[in-house]
Structure 1
């Protein structure tokens, strides 16, 4: 196949990309893994997001990529790869420290149209080879092709018929039908999944314990804002207005969620507790018990999407001796405002983002604050922290194209890129980090120095975006002690190993949250929990997050969560798979 590739030297990016795509089509036509292998770098990767086969996995190494691609492309008749210069004119870029030619492409499969991205490197004899190659089904094209928008062009109406609001009230009641999909959890991830399921034609209902849509943000501590910039966090179909601030406050997010649900006409039950569910293999439906005020409601959806957040259930660890303390003990999720603690002593256990924000708020109202560090933590100033999201910042293509490019970065390349960014961040933040270490703060920067995004994907926390609390700690205005310095608890606070006593009226446990999988046995039983296994964190085989946005070991049970950008990008794949299962083109079981 190499003779079909023109030398990349002196060629423009569009020619290089077009030549590589032509060679790819030729190799796929032969069905030869050997012909495909020469098109990929020795350390090349293919990330398949349900684009070629119903599989979510990354393959690494040219021979592994070629073997898998040749086998799977034939089964779904993946053909007609072509550069999509309407989305992105092929361009030179630097990714993970390497100069590449970056292009977006489209293609055809028996499952529907696809899209993806490729990043090319100069190869042997001047021929270009793919370093990263990603494929996904084109959700928007699939939905547009199958849509049947209601014909509202005629103004004539039946004045005796129910109007729009009456129709919405009837639809939300589910008095005479069952939802195809029940989404448990009405935060941004659940709402995003519901939006995509509805768009593809599924009947979907969201349930949440909260009294009001958005309360999962609205009821958190006063100073909370998003710690990455607005362009990263847009919702599909309805991006934030340009008037929104760079870092959106929690109440503004809460109100946006409420408005989004209304505008997208999503069926949403508030003040509804999901008590558990059992799956019937014969009917292939769940029996779900919901508690609504004083009434119990039973539903029989075909699918359940658990969207209770990867960090949604407070982790209240067993702390030996804490029962000796006679003051108040609150988990950070229950800490609403620092004002009532003005001029009082508070100890905050933890050094993640919530712990820092709460300490800073308490200090601002005049409280005497002590932070207890339990384990080393990454600290990064909030502006340098945005370097990890630079795909979305500044001028460039529309967010839909940026999502294709971003999701096309496989885990091994992401690790390289993030290590380089973390090194840059540490250099920019060096003065502050030195001051923190002198104050006794223990720092770390993720596995192999890869920074906060992979810490979030592996453990859901362990970092802080500094917006001023680190300076307070470095200056001694917020007291810092290590958990190892505590000898025990007393009625009035802490006894320290140096013989001193630290009095307090409140302990705040900023000890993080439990993951999605901890609820499985409680809500679905031990058998389901065993079938599903761990949720979140990377799987060594697929190099993807475990059980997220894909079929699980339990038919009809799905998981979603993560950052705003993750919900935006990956929710469509849940909708695609469920729609394919209902159409009979995809098994409920993993194969």
Structure 2
């Protein structure tokens, strides 16, 4: 059976639509993957199913004040479309950019909005995935079959963020808000706001609302590393003054940024204390050494958790102005009027924002099955973070922690398109990753080494993720600078790929 198959209809109450490729999610990964598929394999019939009412994924889900990228858009943007704005961009600017990609490449006709996938089952008898979804507010059932699934839905649950259960939360008489579900009617005027968290979301919200409320306090259990710089790239500005084509500027600036990121990442491992001093020194120059030592000096080495970029030092300038402040402490319980701290103090609040992270969601809360048997991805081994042992005709996009997510979207797209073309050439309809004979005694380890990278949202959900091996083929290395050469060089006839 070839990858390209005729339209099929099932005997049911509604027609079953068949495609060669079903892409799940119309966020930054799904749109980029669809572009690559349409350009490289133009005869492939495909659809994108998106649960929200429009494209954008993360950039549509999150609507909290000041939402922006924490990666530069020269590398977070697509390789094929130049980014011409400031490197750190707002959600509105990113959505505009994605909309142009969809419109310019006629991708809209492939997208079905308001389609939430309920289940996906593989049949070895037909070499097909059958996908059951519901669409619209009425949740009308719809069914699709596909030769291949391309999972581009991200890695966290869009419907609900992660909020710990603190004692006496119900006693608080103010309003508790998670950034992932920011209410449109939330009035901050003259309100005392406490933002719980220390990551990129908290660092974005704080300067965005400072001055709009009576006072805002960032309450953190432990400090996070930040980088500070202008929200501009001098090289890009200079090249534009010289009237260089935007396509050339985009490629040159991408290469410069990626070179510098690689150098910085290696320094974080080879000389962590020096890098730590440099990062903390930037903040100390604004807030002073005492404040920085107490609130912005992490205990771990740089890059064991994500380092957020703070454009134009707006977070620290907000603190310096007195409109915002930071408290480093732990929560004992909530009170009617705020938060009681373990140190004995109390933070008064009218509004509490729980910027406490994501709820990891492996492959979209979809009930998967293989030949009628429920599929637990935690029992599989990952093939380079893109496919899974025992799971036919399915690819997954999981990006980078230390580089822009979209860089891996491009690499996975290259791999998937090469794989589909290879299958067509071989005249086969199925490919399943499998451990080779030399891999069967390989130790199976957690998805990522906690000594390498250990943010809370990964650590508390590691049991949900596939296993990794101790060989490059069976792990997601998180090293873009190695994978940019390794993934394009994958031998598609390696015994790790079982064709049928």
TM-score by length of 2: 0.66
Tell me if the contact between 2:219 and 2:329 (Cα under 8 Å) persists in the aligned partners: yes
The CA deviation at 1:557 is 2.4
In the alignment, the residues of structure 2 paired with residue 187 and residue 402 of structure 1 have an alpha-carbon distance, to the nearest angstrom, of 24
**Is the CA contact (8 Å cut-off) linking 1:432 and 1:471 kept in structure 2?**
no
Q: Where does 1:410-489 land on structure 2 (aligned, <5 Å)? A: 415-419=265-269, 423=274, 426-427=277-278, 430-433=281-284, 435=287, 438-439=290-291, 440-444=294-298, 448-449=301-302, 451=303, 455=305, 461=306, 463=308, 465=310, 467-473=313-319, 476-484=322-330, 486-489=331-334
What is the aligned-residue RMSD (CA, Å)? 4.0
Alignment deviations for residues 521-563 of structure 1 (CA, whole Å, 9 cap, x no partner): 75568533234357xxxxxxxxxxx753345542222211432
Helix, strand or coil at the partner of 2:193: strand
Q: 1:574 aligns with which of 405, 416, 433?
A: 416
Task: From the superposition, tell whether residues 414 and 442 of structure 1 become closer, same or farther in structure 2 (CA, over 3 Å).
Answer: closer
Instruction: Please state how far the C-alpha of 1:254 moved relative to its aligned partner.
Output: 0.8
Deviations 1:394-442 (A, max 9, x none): 999786698899999999x884255479746843761424737623214
Residue of 133, 145, 157 corresponding to 1:290: 133
Decide whether the 8 Å contact of 2:196 with 2:219 is kept in 1: yes
- Partner SS, residue 163 of structure 2: coil
Q: After superposition, give the CA deviation of every residue in 1:552-585 in whole Å (9 maximum; x if it has no partner).
A: 5422222114323332344222222233234437
Return the structure number with greater relative CO, CA threshold 8 A, min gap 6: 2
Answer yes or no: is the 8 Å Cα contact 2:338–2:350 preserved in 1: yes
Matched, 1:322 2:322: no
Equivalent pair of 2:222/2:298 in contact (CA under 8 Å) = no
Q: 1:360 to 1:555 in 2, by over 3 A?
A: same
Q: Which residue number corresponds to residue 257 of structure 1?
A: 98
Structure 1 residue 377 displacement after superposition: 0.8
Does structure 2 conserve the Cα–Cα contact (< 8 Å) formed by 1:180 and 1:301?
A: yes
Distance 1:299 1:561 in 2: 24
For the 8 Å contact 1:346–1:504, the answer to whether it is kept is yes
> Secondary structure of 2:64's partner?
coil
Instruction: Specify which of 364, 367, 373 is matched with residue 211 of structure 2.
Output: 364
1:65-116 deviation line (CA, Å, top 9, x unaligned): xxxxxxxxxxxxxxxxxxxxxxxxxxxxxxxxxxxxxxxxxxxxxxxxxxxx
How far apart, CA to CA, are the structure 1 residues paired with 2:149 and 2:297?
Answer: 40
Which residue of structure 2 aligns with residue 554 of structure 1? 391
Secondary structure of the equivalent of 2:18? coil
Distance 1:205 1:583 in 2: 23
Q: Is the 8 A contact 2:119 2:131 kept in 1?
A: yes
SS at match of 1:512: coil
**Where does the alignment leave 5 or more consecutive residues of structure 2 unmatched?**
1-13, 400-404, 435-495
CA contact (8 A) 2:88 2:231 kept: no
Separation in 2 of the partners of 1:531 and 1:430? 45
The answer (yes or no) to whether the contact 1:384–1:425 under 8 Å persists in 2 is no
2:265 and 2:308 map into 1 onto residues whose CA distance is 17
Mean Cα displacement is larger for which, 184-193 or 556-565? 556-565
Alignment equivalent of 1:196, drawn from 36, 39, 50: 36
Residue of structure 2 in register with 1:355 after alignment = 202
Equivalent-residue separation in structure 1 for 2:412 and 2:258 (angstroms): 9
CA separation of 1:500 and 1:236: change in aligned 2, threshold 3 A: closer
1:378/1:464 contact within 8 Å kept:
no
- Choose 1 or 2 for highest CA Rg: 1
Do 1:348 and 1:510's aligned partners in 2 also have CA atoms closer than 8 Å?
A: yes
Count of residues paired in the alignment: 391
Q: How does 1:51-200 map to 2 (within 5 A)?
A: 177-200=17-40
TM-superposed deviation, 1:515: 3.5
Q: Which SS does the other structure have where 1:568 is aligned?
A: helix
Q: 2:117 aligns with which of 274, 281, 292?
A: 274
Corresponding residue for residue 332 of structure 1: 179
SS of the aligned residue for 1:300 comes to strand
Is 1:528 aligned to residue 372 of structure 2? no
* Structure 2 counterpart of 1:247: 88
Given that residues 329 and 342 in structure 2 are in contact (C-alpha distance below 8 angstroms), is that contact kept between their aligned partners in structure 1? Answer: no
Residues in 2 aligned to 1:385 and 1:375: alpha-carbon distance in whole angstroms = 30
1:214 deviation in Å?
Answer: 2.8
Q: Is the 8 A contact 1:552 1:558 kept in 2?
A: no
Residues of 2 paired with 1:315 and 1:491: CA distance? 22
- Counterparts in 2 of 1:261 and 1:431: CA distance versus 1, 3 Å: closer
SS of the equivalent of 2:295 reads coil
Cα distance, 1:508 vs. partner?
Answer: 1.2
Report whether the alignment pairs 1:587 with 2:431. yes
Alignment TM-score, normalising by the size of structure 1: 0.57
The CA deviation at 1:229 is 3.7
**SS of aligned partner of 2:333:** strand
Distance change >3 Å, CA 325–CA 532, structure 1 → 2: farther
